[in-house]
């Protein structure tokens, strides 16, 4: 498995190091086989610094093999996390673990920065000891970890508390502890979608998909059994068969086709597989219940119509129209259109009908910002770009025009139909739970070629 | 220098202060001191001098302080082994602490203290913890066994920890099960044929149950372990698949990929006409696409795997082209991988979109990416004929951009397009010629020269163009020189009158002024051809060229199959088998896909045929008989028979039901035709390549002579130095084969020398079931190193000479053996009569006990006895005048221990 784990700063200095395997291969010795070549962790640590952190060129792969040793790395701001191995490990698992480790650290002390890591190194070692044993990832749910790894020092626990901790960490419901109590049982559901688009200059959709997440914040007492329902086409169609033809027709329109979805580990996957029902006992507090992807019948909140004209060798004329395409009563926010400019731009003049536009030389782009915009409206920007004459034969690559925005609906059309809560042991019913739902659609990579 | 002396001085002061603080009475002060020690340790300062003081802090009921001390111990115990013993008592005590968190902490840390002296003291505490009442302690103890195994494998074996670990697979707590599986897999990896993970339907069922209940990581361990199992038949395979598919919806990408691995592997066994097979195929696409919305590093891992899956089963993702379109902000490693998959998925249905995309990419910034995009356009042209014209015009557009590396790349691919579609696009040659001067890369220059030579008759100034290259002939790379030589000879053959001088010039440059042997030889060949027989020269040089293949960069099918078994792992990222990047005893085993059952295609699936080297793992003694009889009876030239597949068609694998198959294992007496093939046509197989064994090449085969099995070896020294001190050892194997004496290589083996050795083998060595059953793993040592290889021996070497059963016994036994132990199958195209067959079989110790003739049908009753006492009885039916044989075989077990 993972033979060693290291955290480096941007200079390549090691902030945290934990080694699990010596790679002396005692088994080889035992079976009368020769030891493989000498291996030294010190050399391995240096090799990563020299070949990856200090490498001149852009990183060409997140997995690097140096002298028969494999290095997996992820980077968070200027901190490098590297997992090292000499075996044929499960590569996907190593990366998932590195991300998880970042999540756990963030949950404990906020941003992953050199300062925070230095200030919390004892905690990090303690966490690492718990979540990675001999290079094998163990329970890494922050909810569970926080019950027994605290920064305040451990209060002496009673025997019951101790066994509760161990049974939670190893239990089937490792993400939730028993005995949670709230005076007010409340839950919040956020449907967060990012809508992605690649459009040709002529307005043809080259690719579009929505990747969505259902994030749940639950403040529920006991061990509540939850059931989540949405306007999933497969479920609605199934129900439609039982109802009248009219019903099916009506609901059929409102249902959406989900290409694929993945769930938090609390969801009973076999039940979803057989009945397509989403049932679970939720973790306490905030977590991501599910992710999904849709590609059919997506509402594209904005349309970008670009027009770029080259006037001679030293001038470009750019005109961009954006059209909002949703109910007039709704408001989009934080709208930003980014129009790339050539590297040899010497000056830009911009006129826009709405919002503010600025040429940002350091980013090689004109950035046009609009605070709010209602549905079924349009707005326009035009710019004249002066160019310096160059000898460079290579034409400007014309990066696509990208857009950012936020809209108060789900571009996929997803609707939450219900979230039922059952807690048979405690005396509160589904009706007593206060439930909130919110939809937010954001731009993912929303690009129009020009 | 001075500075370091001063720094050391201060550091010495710091150590002194810490020492005082560590011995303080106040708990808080102690803890702060240990924290400081750990801080110094982390930044690489040597604080080992504080060892006794830190260890003194170990006896505390403060868990946090204890953890810090343990952390210190793990770091320094190895450098201070004598002092580390001081810690032993505390460990032993802590392992009995009433708090399970402390017990687990102690057992977890113990295993990380790599001091031989200590390990023995830790066995008792570990044994207790493995049976602890608290699952948290048990799951930690399970991993500790793997740790201990890494330090002292012998100790772990002697103490019986492996058995305890196996018992934990049945633990009531899913996480304990998962960690036990992880530990066993880790240990199994470092001694491959230990058969530690003895997977059978019962354990598989336990694993599948735990799969639903354990953490995401535990699910990964279990799925990776499941992937090593070979189901007994398609029904079992399907039922496992059904229980694994829900994992495809897990949020953790590694769980998804490991599930995909299990499904891709087990799917191999499902008949293609089964409804479920189609359902499964459909279920695989969405989760694979979803992986592409993960973080970039995981996307990369996913894409490398999808690349394999697309080659193995193109149908899964054929409609998903769009998701592989490159995004402007993708990291370059994601872009390059996506491009690769786009080309693989390109088809007539989506080619327009693909081309539009590729054209965009060709204007991007990253040089590697742009080159790959241009090359991809060329590959599309070759792959999808209908698109060729558009591809060519796109390439011409790109050439117009005059971006140097784009032009060069375009010319290289256009050369291939010319070859694929002769006499179609030559009109563009003029445009290409305009760019002659800008080509500075050898591959592009060579491609351009090839074009000029090939179409010399259409290019008016071909001679001038080629002459211009000739000026700097000696500065060109070999590739260009060779191409230029050939091109000018072609030109001469096409336009002999004007180019005589030119051809003489190039021939003399190549033959007289060059010291490159390839170039010189090619020059001489042309020269002689031209001077002796110009007609022949024309036939040779202007010969019609074979078609070029549509697909390039395809992974060789056996490797692809192996990599499919490694989905999700590093091997799948590198596209290399583990043995290529893992050292030592780990990773020697090659994994293989199971053969399809019930389907007439047998082991062949998809478009890519799996070569016959893939062993059939389905139990069926019929295979064995079929192979033997068929190969032996058939004419020697047609040595390979379709017997295994036909046997499977009949569902013969069920015949070993009951107690037998669990004893004989999944691979009962099964071996494949190839292995037998080379026994009967005993040529040597190369078992160990010189490049993998520091110059030692080993080839060999097996034989049975005078009742003794021999391993015939041919050792060749391809290194520069003399080899001596040869020795050989076998790993435990199914039939207990072991060298009966030392490996006799009498004289030292000098470079380039080969020696033949015949090594007699006994069958009294240690027994362990292997997969396939006839697998033998060998270690050969010489003065340089130790090398490992494995080879397959023909089962027939195990047939003993006294295998002729008494008639009466035969009759009684034949009746006694239950019907379900019987297998039947047919052999086609065997042109021997019963007597000839009988005598031929007898030479392989297959004895005819009786012969009957009924209705023009000869029936031979035969017996075989294996070295380990197993009897195989067979009935061979020959229809006169018909070349098809029918064989019924039964298996009688006397004693067979595994």
Strand pairing report for A186-199 and A434-448: parallel
Q: Is the pLDDT of residue B674 over 50?
A: no
Tell me how long chain B is: 898
Written in H, E and C, the secondary structure of B848-861 is: EEEEEEECCEEEEE
Neighbours of B422 (CB within 10 A): 13
Q: b vs e for B830-848, b when ≥16 Cβ sit within 10 Å of the residue's Cβ?
A: bebebeebbeebeebbbbb
Q: Is the pLDDT of residue B253 over 50?
A: yes
- Contact residues on chain B for A33, CB-CB shorter than 8 A: 584-585, 779, 786, 788
Alpha carbon A5 to chain centroid distance?
23
- Please give the pLDDT value at position A408: 96
- Identify from A27, A94, A206 which residue to disrupt to test chain B contact, counting B C-beta atoms within 10 A and taking the largest count: A27
- Contact residues on chain A for B300, CB-CB shorter than 8 A: 61-63
Q: How far is A261 from chain B (nearest CA, A)?
A: 6
Asked if B297 reaches chain A (Cβ–Cβ under 8 Å), the answer is yes
Binding-site entries of A: 356, 358, 360, 369, 371
- Please give the pLDDT value at position B638: 32
Asked if B35 reaches chain A (Cβ–Cβ under 8 Å), the answer is yes
Residue with tokens 């016959």: B612
Q: Which residues contact B216 (CB under 8 A, 6 or more apart)?
A: A96, A265, B250, B251, B252, B254, B255
Residues 156 to 215 of B: which have CB under 8 A from any A CB? 173-176, 179, 182, 186-187, 189-191, 212-215
Q: Is the pLDDT of residue A28 over 70?
A: no
Higher local confidence (pLDDT), B632 or A77: A77
- Please give the pLDDT value at position B617: 31
Half-sphere exposure of B125 (CA within 13 A, CB side): 29
Residue B373 tokens, joined:
């995009």
Higher local confidence (pLDDT), B839 or B790: B790
Asked whether the beta carbons of residue A148 and residue B101 sit closer than 8 angstroms, the reply is yes
Q: Which residues contact B744 (CB under 8 A, 6 or more apart)?
A: B757, B759
- Please give the pLDDT value at position B588: 57
Residues 529 to 568 of B: which have CB under 8 A from any A CB? 566, 568
Whole-angstrom distance between the N-terminal and C-terminal Cα of chain B?
68
pLDDT-based confidence at residue A37 (cuts at 50, 70, 90) = low
- Contact residues on chain A for B276, CB-CB shorter than 8 A: none
Q: Is the pLDDT of residue B396 over 50?
A: yes
- Please give the pLDDT value at position B47: 86
Asked whether the beta carbons of residue A172 and residue B250 sit closer than 8 angstroms, the reply is no
Mean pLDDT of B732-757: 84
Tell which residue, B400, B402, B407, B466, has the closest CA to residue B441.
B407
Mean pLDDT of B424-428: 86
Q: How far is A432 from chain B (nearest CA, A)?
A: 30
Q: Is the pLDDT of residue A268 over 80?
A: yes
Residue A151 tokens, joined:
């920064």
pLDDT tens per residue, range B756-795: 888 889 888 888 888 888 889 898 888 888 888 888 888 8
Q: Is the pLDDT of residue B69 over 80?
A: yes
- Identify from A59, A91, A395 which residue to disrupt to test chain B contact, counting B C-beta atoms within 10 A and taking the largest count: A91
Among chain A residues, the shortest Cα distance to B102 is held by A162
Q: Is the pLDDT of residue A246 over 60?
A: no
pLDDT tens per residue, range B543-589: 888 777 777 678 899 999 999 999 999 999 999 999 888 876 555 56
Asked if B788 reaches chain A (Cβ–Cβ under 8 Å), the answer is yes
Higher local confidence (pLDDT), B665 or B759: B759
- Contact residues on chain B for A261, CB-CB shorter than 8 A: 249, 290
Asked if B252 reaches chain A (Cβ–Cβ under 8 Å), the answer is yes
- Identify from B71, B162, B298, B338 which residue to disrupt to test chain A contact, counting A C-beta atoms within 10 A and taking the largest count: B298
Q: Which of A29-43, A158-172, B193-207, B815-829 has the lowest mean pLDDT?
A: A29-43
Higher local confidence (pLDDT), B528 or B658: B528
- Please give the pLDDT value at position B459: 85
Rounded to whole angstroms, how far apart are CA atoms A53 and A128?
Answer: 23
Nearest to B583 among A36, A95, A121 (CB): A36
- Please give the pLDDT value at position B613: 35
Q: Which residues contact B405 (CB under 8 A, 6 or more apart)?
A: B367, B370, B371, B441
- Please give the pLDDT value at position B427: 86
Q: What is the pTM of this model?
A: 0.72
Asked if B570 reaches chain A (Cβ–Cβ under 8 Å), the answer is yes
Mean of all residue pLDDT scores within chain A = 88
pLDDT-based confidence at residue A40 (cuts at 50, 70, 90) = confident
- Contact residues on chain A for B401, CB-CB shorter than 8 A: 393-395
- Contact residues on chain B for A174, CB-CB shorter than 8 A: 175, 215
Contact B888, B859 (CB under 8 A): no
Q: Is the pLDDT of residue A72 over 90?
A: yes
- Please give the pLDDT value at position B684: 78
Asked if B258 reaches chain A (Cβ–Cβ under 8 Å), the answer is yes
Q: Is the pLDDT of residue B8 over 80?
A: no
Q: Is the pLDDT of residue B831 over 90?
A: no
Tell me how long chain A is: 450
- Contact residues on chain B for A68, CB-CB shorter than 8 A: 581-583
- Please give the pLDDT value at position B784: 83
Nearest to A400 among B39, B295, B328 (CB): B328
Contact A189, A268 (CB under 8 A): no
DSSP B893: -
Contact A101, A120 (CB under 8 A): no
Asked if B360 reaches chain A (Cβ–Cβ under 8 Å), the answer is yes
Asked whether the beta carbons of residue A206 and residue B325 sit closer than 8 angstroms, the reply is yes
Asked whether the beta carbons of residue B150 and residue A22 sit closer than 8 angstroms, the reply is yes
Angle between helices B332-345 and B351-361 (to 10 degrees): 150
Among chain B residues, the shortest Cα distance to A278 is held by B249
ipTM, two decimals: 0.83
Residue A100 tokens, joined:
């998880």
Q: How far is A395 from chain B (nearest CA, A)?
A: 7
Mean of all residue pLDDT scores within chain B = 81
Strands (DSSP E) along A9-147, which ranges? Answer: 14-19, 63-66, 69-76, 79-85, 132-133, 136-137
Higher local confidence (pLDDT), A109 or B625: A109
Rounded to whole angstroms, how far apart are CA atoms B739 and B217?
Answer: 44
Contact A134, A20 (CB under 8 A): yes
Asked whether the beta carbons of residue A60 and residue B572 sit closer than 8 angstroms, the reply is no
DSSP H or E segment with residue B649:
helix B643-649
pLDDT tens per residue, range B199-218: 889 999 999 999 988 899 99
Asked whether the beta carbons of residue A26 and residue B153 sit closer than 8 angstroms, the reply is yes
Q: Which of A242-246, B227-231, B771-775 has the lowest mean pLDDT?
A: A242-246
Mean pLDDT of A40-65: 87
**What percent of chain A stands above pLDDT 90?**
61
B654-659, Cβ contacts within 8 angstroms, sequence gap of 24 or more: B654/B233, B654/B820, B655/B620, B655/B621, B655/B622, B655/B820, B655/B821, B655/B822, B655/B823, B656/B619, B656/B620, B656/B621, B656/B821, B656/B823, B656/B891, B657/B820, B657/B821, B658/B818, B658/B820, B658/B821
Q: Is the pLDDT of residue A208 over 60?
A: yes
The C-alpha torsion from B169 through B170 and B172 to B174, rounded to 10°, is 30
Rounded to whole angstroms, how far apart are CA atoms B222 and B206?
Answer: 10
- Please give the pLDDT value at position A340: 93
pLDDT tens per residue, range A315-370: 999 999 999 999 999 999 999 999 999 988 999 999 998 999 999 999 899 999 99
Q: Which of A122-126, A277-281, B58-62, B659-663 has the lowest mean pLDDT?
A: B659-663
- Contact residues on chain B for A26, CB-CB shorter than 8 A: 149-153
Rounded to whole angstroms, how far apart are CA atoms B851 and B613?
Answer: 35
Asked if B100 reaches chain A (Cβ–Cβ under 8 Å), the answer is yes
- Contact residues on chain B for A35, CB-CB shorter than 8 A: 584
pLDDT tens per residue, range B784-799: 888 888 888 888 888 8
Q: Is the pLDDT of residue B891 over 90?
A: no
Q: Is the pLDDT of residue B29 over 50?
A: yes
pLDDT-based confidence at residue B194 (cuts at 50, 70, 90) = low
Asked whether the beta carbons of residue A139 and residue B175 sit closer than 8 angstroms, the reply is yes
Asked whether the beta carbons of residue B583 and residue A68 sit closer than 8 angstroms, the reply is yes
- Identify from B251, B307, B333 which residue to disrupt to test chain A contact, counting A C-beta atoms within 10 A and taking the largest count: B251
Among chain B residues, the shortest Cα distance to A396 is held by B363
Residue B818 tokens, joined:
């239950």
- Identify from A92, A127, A265 which residue to disrupt to test chain B contact, counting B C-beta atoms within 10 A and taking the largest count: A92
Higher local confidence (pLDDT), A170 or A290: A290
Q: Is the pLDDT of residue A284 over 80?
A: yes
Asked whether the beta carbons of residue A68 and residue B99 sit closer than 8 angstroms, the reply is no
- Identify from B280, B354, B585 which residue to disrupt to test chain A contact, counting A C-beta atoms within 10 A and taking the largest count: B585
Neighbours of B338 (CB within 10 A): 23
Mean pLDDT of B513-532: 90
- Contact residues on chain A for B149, CB-CB shorter than 8 A: 26-27
Q: Which of A140-144, B247-251, B557-561 has the lowest mean pLDDT?
A: A140-144
Asked whether the beta carbons of residue B570 and residue A91 sit closer than 8 angstroms, the reply is yes
pLDDT-based confidence at residue B623 (cuts at 50, 70, 90) = very low
Q: With the C-alpha atoms ordered B221, B223, B229, B232, is the resulting torsion angle positive or negative?
A: positive
pLDDT tens per residue, range B318-345: 999 989 999 888 999 999 999 999 999 9
- Please give the pLDDT value at position B774: 86
Residues 607 to 646 of B: which have CB under 8 A from any A CB? none
Best-predicted range by mean pLDDT (A207-221, A390-404, B413-427): A207-221
Q: Is the pLDDT of residue B615 over 50?
A: no
pLDDT-based confidence at residue B654 (cuts at 50, 70, 90) = very low
Tell which residue, B99, B66, B93, B174, has the closest CA to residue A160.
B99
- Please give the pLDDT value at position A144: 83
**What percent of chain B stands above pLDDT 70?**
84
- Please give the pLDDT value at position A378: 94
Q: Which of B282-286, B465-469, B687-691 has the lowest mean pLDDT?
A: B687-691
pLDDT tens per residue, range B441-454: 999 999 999 999 99
- Please give the pLDDT value at position B584: 63
Mean pLDDT of A388-414: 85
Nearest to B136 among A32, A159, A169 (CB): A169
Rounded to whole angstroms, how far apart are CA atoms B622 and B825?
Answer: 7
Nearest to A260 among B287, B333, B581 (CB): B287
Q: How far is A61 from chain B (nearest CA, A)?
A: 6
Nearest to B587 among A37, A88, A259 (CB): A88
Residue B648 tokens, joined:
């499977």
Asked whether the beta carbons of residue B143 and residue A133 sit closer than 8 angstroms, the reply is yes
């Amino acid at each position: 498995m993972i033979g060693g784990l290291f955290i480096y700063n941007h200079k390549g200095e090691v902030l945290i190091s934990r080694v699990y395997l010596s790679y002396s291969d005692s088994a080889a010795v035992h079976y009368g086989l020769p030891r493989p070549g000498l291996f030294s962790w010190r050399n391995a640590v240096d090799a990563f610094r020299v070949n990856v952190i200090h490498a001149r060129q852009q990183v060409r792969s997140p997995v690097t093999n140096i002298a028969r040793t494999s290095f997996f790395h992820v980077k968070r701001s200027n901190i490098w996390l590297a997992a090292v191995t000499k075996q044929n490990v499960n590569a996907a698992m190593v990366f998932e673990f590195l991300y998880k480790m970042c999540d756990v650290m963030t949950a404990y002390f906020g941003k992953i920065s050199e300062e925070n890591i230095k200030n919390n190194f004892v905690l990090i070692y303690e966490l690492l000891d718990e979540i990675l044993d001999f290079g094998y990832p163990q329970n890494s749910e922050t909810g569970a970890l926080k019950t027994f790894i605290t920064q305040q020092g451990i209060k002496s626990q009673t025997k019951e508390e101790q066994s509760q901790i161990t049974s939670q960490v190893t239990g089937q419901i490792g993400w939730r502890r028993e005995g949670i109590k709230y005076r007010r049982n409340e839950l919040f559901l956020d449907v967060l979608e990012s809508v992605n688009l690649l459009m040709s200059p002529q307005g043809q959709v080259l690719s579009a998909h929505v990747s969505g997440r259902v994030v749940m914040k639950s403040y529920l007492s006991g061990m509540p059994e939850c059931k989540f329902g949405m306007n999933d086409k497969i479920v609605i169609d199934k129900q439609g068969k039982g109802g009248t033809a009219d019903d099916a027709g009506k609901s059929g329109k409102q249902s959406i086709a989900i290409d694929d979805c993945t769930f938090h580990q609390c969801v009973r996957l076999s039940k979803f597989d057989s009945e397509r029902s989403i049932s679970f006992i939720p973790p306490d507090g905030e977590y991501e219940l599910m992710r999904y992807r849709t590609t059919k019948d997506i509402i594209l909140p904005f349309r970008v119509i670009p027009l770029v004209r080259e006037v001679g060798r030293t001038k470009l004329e750019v005109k961009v129209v954006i059209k909002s395409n949703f109910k007039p009563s709704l408001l989009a926010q934080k709208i930003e259109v980014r129009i790339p400019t050539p590297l040899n731009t010497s000056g830009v003049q911009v006129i826009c009908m709405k919002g503010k536009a600025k040429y940002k030389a350091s980013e090689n782009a004109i950035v046009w910002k609009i605070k709010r915009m209602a549905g079924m409206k349009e707005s326009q920007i035009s710019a004249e770009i002066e160019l310096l004459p160059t000898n460079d034969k290579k034409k400007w690559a014309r990066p696509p025009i990208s857009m950012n925005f936020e809209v108060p609906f789900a571009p996929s059309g997803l609707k939450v139909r219900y979230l039922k809560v059952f807690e048979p042991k405690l005396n509160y019913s589904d009706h007593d739970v206060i439930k909130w739902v919110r939809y937010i659609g954001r731009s993912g990579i929303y690009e129009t070629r020009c | 220098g001075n500075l370091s002396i001063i720094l050391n001085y201060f550091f010495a002061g710091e150590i002194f202060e810490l020492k005082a603080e560590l011995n303080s009475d106040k708990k808080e002060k102690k803890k702060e001191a240990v924290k400081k020690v750990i801080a110094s340790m982390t930044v690489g300062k040597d604080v080992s001098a504080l060892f006794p003081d830190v260890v003194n802090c170990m006896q505390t009921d403060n868990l946090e302080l204890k953890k810090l001390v343990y952390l210190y111990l793990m770091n320094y115990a190895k450098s201070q082994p004598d002092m580390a013993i001081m810690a032993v008592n505390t460990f032993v005590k802590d392992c009995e602490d009433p708090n399970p968190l402390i017990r687990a902490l102690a057992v977890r840390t113990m295993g990380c203290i790599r001091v031989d002296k200590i390990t023995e003291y830790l066995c008792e505490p570990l044994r207790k913890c493995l049976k602890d009442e608290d699952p948290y302690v048990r799951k930690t103890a399970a991993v500790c066994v793997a740790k201990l195994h890494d330090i002292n494998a012998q100790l772990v074996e002697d103490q019986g920890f492996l058995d305890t670990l196996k018992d934990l697979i049945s633990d009531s707590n899913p996480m304990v099960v998962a960690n036990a599986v992880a530990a066993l897999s880790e240990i199994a990896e470092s001694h491959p044929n230990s058969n530690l993970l003895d997977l059978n339907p019962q354990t598989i069922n336990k694993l599948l149950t735990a799969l639903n209940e354990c953490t995401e990581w535990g699910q990964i361990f279990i799925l990776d372990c499941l992937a090593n199992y070979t189901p007994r038949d398609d029904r079992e395979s399907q039922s496992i698949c059904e229980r694994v598919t829900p994992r495809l919806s897990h949020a953790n990408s590694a769980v998804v990929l490991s599930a995909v691995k299990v499904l891709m592997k087990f799917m191999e066994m499902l008949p293609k006409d089964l409804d479920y097979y189609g359902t499964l195929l459909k279920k695989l696409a969405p989760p694979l696409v979803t992986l592409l919305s993960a973080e970039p590093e995981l996307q990369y891992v996913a894409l490398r795997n999808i690349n394999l899956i697309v080659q193995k089963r193109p149908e899964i993702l054929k409609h998903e082209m769009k998701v592989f379109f490159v995004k402007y902000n993708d990291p370059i490693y994601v872009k390059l991988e996506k491009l690769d998959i786009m080309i693989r998925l390109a088809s007539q249905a989506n080619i327009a979109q693909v081309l539009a995309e590729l054209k965009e990419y060709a204007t991007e910034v990253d040089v590697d990416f742009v080159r790959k995009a241009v090359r991809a356009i060329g590959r599309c042209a070759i792959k999808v004929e209908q698109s060729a014209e558009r591809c060519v015009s796109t390439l011409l557009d790109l050439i117009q951009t005059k971006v140097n590396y784009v032009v060069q790349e375009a010319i290289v691919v256009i050369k291939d397009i010319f070859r694929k579609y002769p006499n179609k696009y030559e009109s563009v040659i003029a445009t290409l010629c305009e760019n002659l001067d800008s080509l500075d890369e050898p591959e592009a220059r060579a491609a351009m020269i090839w074009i000029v030579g090939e179409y010399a008759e259409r290019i008016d100034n071909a001679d001038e163009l080629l002459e211009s290259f000739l000026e700097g002939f000696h500065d060109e790379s070999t590739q260009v020189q060779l191409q230029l030589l050939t091109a000018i000879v072609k030109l001469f053959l096409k336009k002999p009158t004007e180019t005589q001088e030119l051809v003489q010039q190039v021939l003399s440059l190549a033959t007289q002024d060059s010291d490159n042997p390839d170039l010189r030889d090619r020059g001489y060949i042309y020269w002689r051809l031209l001077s002796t027989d110009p007609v022949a020269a024309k036939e040779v040089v202007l010969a019609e060229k074979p078609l070029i293949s549509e697909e390039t960069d395809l992974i060789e099918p056996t490797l692809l199959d192996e990599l499919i078994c490694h989905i999700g792992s590093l091997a799948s990222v590198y596209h290399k088998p583990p043995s290529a990047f893992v050292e030592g005893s780990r990773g020697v085993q090659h994994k293989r896909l199971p053969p399809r059952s019930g389907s007439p295609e047998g082991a062949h699936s998809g478009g890519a045929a799996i070569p016959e080297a893939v062993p059939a793992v389905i139990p069926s003694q019929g295979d064995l008989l079929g192979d033997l009889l068929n190969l032996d009876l058939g004419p020697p030239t047609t040595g390979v028979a379709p017997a295994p597949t036909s046997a499977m068609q009949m569902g013969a694998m069920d015949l070993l039901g009951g107690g037998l198959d669990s004893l004989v294992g999944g691979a009962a007496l099964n071996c494949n035709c190839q292995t037998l093939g080379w026994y009967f046509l005993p040529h040597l197989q190369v078992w160990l390549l010189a490049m993998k064994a520091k110059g030692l090449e080993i080839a060999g085969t097996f034989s049975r002579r005078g009742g003794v099995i021999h391993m015939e070896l041919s050792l060749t020294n391809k290194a520069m130095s003399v080899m001596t001190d040869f020795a050989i050892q076998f790993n435990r194997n199914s039939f207990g084969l072991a060298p009966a004496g030392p490996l006799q290589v009498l004289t030292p083996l000098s470079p380039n020398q080969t020696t033949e050795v015949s090594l007699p083998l006994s069958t009294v060595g240690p027994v362990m079931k292997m997969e396939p059953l006839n697998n033998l793993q060998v270690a050969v040592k010489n003065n340089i190193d130790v090398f490992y290889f494995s080879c397959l021996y023909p089962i027939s070497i195990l047939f003993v000479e006294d295998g002729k059963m008494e008639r009466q016994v035969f009759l009684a036994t034949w009746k006694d053996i239950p019907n379900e132990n019987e297998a039947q199958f047919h052999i086609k195209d065997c042109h021997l009569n019963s007597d000839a067959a009988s005598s031929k079989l007898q030479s392989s110790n297959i004895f005819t006990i009786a012969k009957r003739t009924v209705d023009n049908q000869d029936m031979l009753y035969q017996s075989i006895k294996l070295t380990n006492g197993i009897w195989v009885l067979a009935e061979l039916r020959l229809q006169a005048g018909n070349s098809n044989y029918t064989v019924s075989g039964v298996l009688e077990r006397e004693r067979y221990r595994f």
